[in-house]
Structure 1
Amino acid sequence: VLHEKKELDSEIKVGDFMSLGDNDYVVTAVGAEANDTFKMLGHCCLVFGGKDEVELPGQVQLKGEKLPELKQGDYIQIKFLGGHK
């Protein structure tokens, strides 16, 4: 998956939403290093278990109906809940 580097307006937090292609997911847990890695390197590890804890510090846990099926041209977006900063 290729991405464009963008500046984050906020950190990823529990309760935020992520859209991957046509699928939406709720963020249920964020590892202690996930936001720093995402800001510095533009990547993080997404886990689709919906747990309220992460196993590794760079993970973001997501809960949704099904696993994403990304295709060329799809977008990955973070929708910050309530516009927190």
Structure 2
Amino acid sequence: MTAKVEVGRKGYIIIPKSIRELIGIKEGDVLTLTVENGRIVLEPERRVSLPEVARRLREHEEKVRKYAKEARLGDLAGVSLEDEFE
């Protein structure tokens, strides 16, 4: 998506509502501004909730445990890798 914006007094620009909604930018969010090859790039700073990350890791571990089993010596005896990739 592309939009033209006008630079106002003191260098202010307004990010159009459609772009803010598309990216998920809300009032009070912090944006990182970088200059790359003569271009201005604005990226929203994403804050991570440690409790949310921990919850998602627990959920992922539960899903993996459903399908994973403890490997035992001899489980792959007689299995040929060549057969696996045919």
With normalisation by structure 2, the TM-score equals 0.25
Q: Which has the higher contact order (CA 8 A, sep 6+)?
A: 1
Counting strand residues as a fraction of each chain, which structure ranks higher? 1
Counting helix residues as a fraction of each chain, which structure ranks higher? 2
With normalisation by structure 1, the TM-score equals 0.25
- Whose radius of gyration is greater, 1 or 2? 2
